[in-house]
Structure 1
Amino acid sequence: MARKRILQNAVTAARDKSEETTKSEGPAINPFAQREGALSDIAQGRIRDVRLRMLDPKTCRMWEKHNRIYDLLTAENCADLINSIRAQGKQEIPAVVRRLKGDPEGYEYEVISGARRHFAVSYLREAENRKEIFYLAEVKDLADEEAFRFADLENRGRKDISDYERGREYQKALHDYYGGNMTRMAQRMEVSKALLSSYIAIAKLPREVLDAYGDPREIAVRHGQQLSPLLKGAKREKVLARAQEIAKTQDQARALGGGTFINGAEVFKLLKGSVPKAPAEKKAVKEGRAGGGMAFLTGRIEGDILKLEIDLEADPSSEDLAAAVVRAYERMKGKRA
């Protein structure tokens, strides 16, 4: 019964599509041939229902606003997914694509979400000749802004998408869909404006800083948050000069092939260190009154320590000294908070 229902749905979908095409483009497509094609796909297991498709990944291209940097995908960093699909003999979780019309390069679908799955299936089909493995995808009719929000929701919890990739995606979307209005974008995405701003700060880092990282995917949100203030005013030149030095080292490692890159955490530390910290001001309070009205106790915070200096010549009573210590402690604790 289930198979019969699937067949009926597929035939109905083919007929509806044919009628729609006929109205808009004329009688160029034979509805019977289209129906036979749909039935053939079902018989061969290439259609699981009227929405899921078992595609040859070569018929799909990445959406130009996809949140992943596809060129950085390799068999090594996709090994977990490749191994899983190889073991299962199929892709379990469908990607999301939308249909293309009249693509000049002949692609039939555009990948909205599922770049790693596309790479993994392509690798298995080409490198290991596993032609029985297809790219499982759900076809959706999505406008660009809808596609952006859909892909973001699906991938927001994924750890294998870097903060930098998200930052690039959000910066493009801010310009393309929301007219630069970050408040409106945050509302549409249902996230805080502060979080959105933190991601976009990464995408705004200058080229010199990006080049300093061996892999831009190692740039974390906190890197952008803490480096952005250092890229203003007189500090900027120092940070950029240090970034250029680091980038040269990274280029040398890349040229050696097996060279050791400076990892993202270390690059961040080096860039922050290019601007010397201003010496921390020592907070101090004075307490107690002795002869002449001068304070006999001074309290200072150094790190997490409260240091007390007592003027021995003042010769305070034990009660006055105890009271002065308590007041100094309470005042300094309040300052630290």
Structure 2
Amino acid sequence: MASFMREIFGDISGSGAAHKGPGPAKEGDDLAHLDARLAGAVRSGSDGTGIVMLQPAECVVWDGNPRDVPRLTPEGCRSLIESIATEGGNRIPVLVRRAGEGAEIPYELLVGSRRRFAVDWLNHNGRPELRLSALIVDVSDEEAFRIADLENRERADISEIDRARSYQAAVDRFYGGVQSKMAQALSLSNSQLSRLLSLAQLPEDVVEAFPARTELRVRHSEVLTPLLRRPELRAAIIDAAIAIAAQQQQRTANKQPLIAAAAVLSKLRQAAVSEPSKPEPVTLMAGGTKVGVMRHGRGGVVDVSLSVGGDVDVESLLAELGRRLREAQREGMTRAA
């Protein structure tokens, strides 16, 4: 088992061995091919590989895995379900580790969420005799995260936003908040990791505007993140995203095509660049006499034009000007919030 795990971690950290991009690997990429290694471990039966047969309920998906288990469905796993039913079990074992002392469920599932789902579904739909073939490993949380990430880079059904958010949580949980340390452990460049973390920080309202989580990409974040960092634009973008999400829900209810990701991005950008309506100019008065005009400029700037004659009460003018400026500040803070 020790040599098997060394090979796995060598695939993660080895030069050129891991897929480098922010998205899922494509067929033919020289990734670790974790499934092939797991299947090979079963065939060889060497090095004390601890294969056990479990009921799906005996393992719970480890909380450091980015796969969104509630989104697994029989339809999405249909071909896998049929394959496991035909072969009488999962040919490629899942990867588990023993849960901590006192845990109600004895194992944590590190790799193989879809296989666990498929066997569980079959158990409840006519094949109660099937068991989940599992390989037991002894790894730390950080090692478990790297293994799960290695598998999920090969999966097209892991969305970039889910992977990115798992990275965001992992930076603090496993790497002390040091991005460069995490990037090195995962064989990513610092810039690639930073791009993924920016995607993870998109507001949920913006995420919900897209037709599906799987269609939200790092490239979308690269456009939206700089705009969302500007307080005067953030509110407009989020308001537009909420409106788009409502349209998406209505289209779903009416069985109409959803607004495509490219169109969503265009609408959000347009909301950011649209010129906001400006308050009307304010006339400044002092002692019943018009002494100037105050206008709201770009970026919260206030322009004041004064025309002061010799008979103007200066104290009255300053009081009026101070009052109007305080009002303008309050209005600006309200709009920013």
Q: CA deviation at 1:257?
A: 8.0
Matches of 1:76 and 1:268, distance apart in 2 = 29
Q: CA deviation at 1:194?
A: 1.1
CA contact (8 A) 1:91 1:133 kept: no
Q: CA deviation at 1:271?
A: 2.0
Aligned to 1:90: 89
Matches of 2:127 and 2:182, distance apart in 1 = 42
Residue 274 (structure 1) aligned to one of 271, 274, 283: 271
For the residue of structure 2 that corresponds to 1:245, the secondary structure is helix
Higher Cα Rg: structure 1 or 2? 1
The structure-2 alpha-carbon separation of the partners of 1:218 and 1:56, relative to structure 1 and needing over 3 Å to count, comes to same
Matches of 1:124 and 1:209, distance apart in 2 = 37
Aligned to 2:138: 141
Q: CA deviation at 1:253?
A: 4.4
Matches of 2:105 and 2:194, distance apart in 1 = 35
Higher relative contact order (CA 8 A, sep 6+): 2
What is the letter of the counterpart of residue 206 of structure 2? Answer: V
Q: Equivalences for 1:247-258 in 2 at 5 Å?
A: 247-253=245-251, 256=253, 258=255
Q: Equivalences for 1:180-199 in 2 at 5 Å?
A: 180-199=177-196
Q: Equivalences for 1:21-100 in 2 at 5 Å?
A: 51-100=50-99
Percent identity, aligned pairs only?
38
Residue 117 (structure 1) aligned to one of 115, 127, 139: 115
Matches of 1:101 and 1:183, distance apart in 2 = 30
Q: Equivalences for 1:1-337 in 2 at 5 Å?
A: 51-104=50-103, 106-126=104-124, 128-233=125-230, 234-253=232-251, 256=253, 258=255, 260-276=257-273
What is the letter of the counterpart of residue 208 of structure 1? Answer: D
Q: CA deviation at 1:89?
A: 2.6
1:125-171 alpha-carbon deviations (Å, 9 max, x no partner):
11x22123221211111111111011112222222211111101110
For the residue of structure 2 that corresponds to 1:65, the secondary structure is coil
What is the letter of the counterpart of residue 90 of structure 1? Answer: G
Q: CA deviation at 1:260?
A: 4.6
Aligned to 2:332: none
Q: CA deviation at 1:197?
A: 1.2
TM (norm. structure 2) is 0.62
Q: Considering only aligned residues, what root-mean-square deviation do their CA atoms show, in Å? A: 2.3
1:258-292 alpha-carbon deviations (Å, 9 max, x no partner):
565434343233323333499xxxxxxxxxxxxxx
The structure-2 alpha-carbon separation of the partners of 1:57 and 1:257, relative to structure 1 and needing over 3 Å to count, comes to farther
What is the letter of the counterpart of residue 88 of structure 1? Answer: E
Q: Which sections of structure 2, spanning at least 5 residues, go unmatched?
A: 1-44, 276-337
CA contact (8 A) 1:208 1:244 kept: yes
Matches of 2:262 and 2:80, distance apart in 1 = 26
Aligned to 2:281: none
Q: CA deviation at 1:50?
A: 5.1
Matches of 2:172 and 2:96, distance apart in 1 = 23
For the residue of structure 2 that corresponds to 1:194, the secondary structure is helix
Q: Which sections of structure 1, spanning at least 5 residues, go unmatched?
A: 1-47, 279-337
TM (norm. structure 1) is 0.62
What is the letter of the counterpart of residue 142 of structure 1? Answer: V
Matched pairs, number: 228
Name whichever of 128-137 and 200-209 sits farther off.
128-137
CA contact (8 A) 1:164 1:218 kept: no
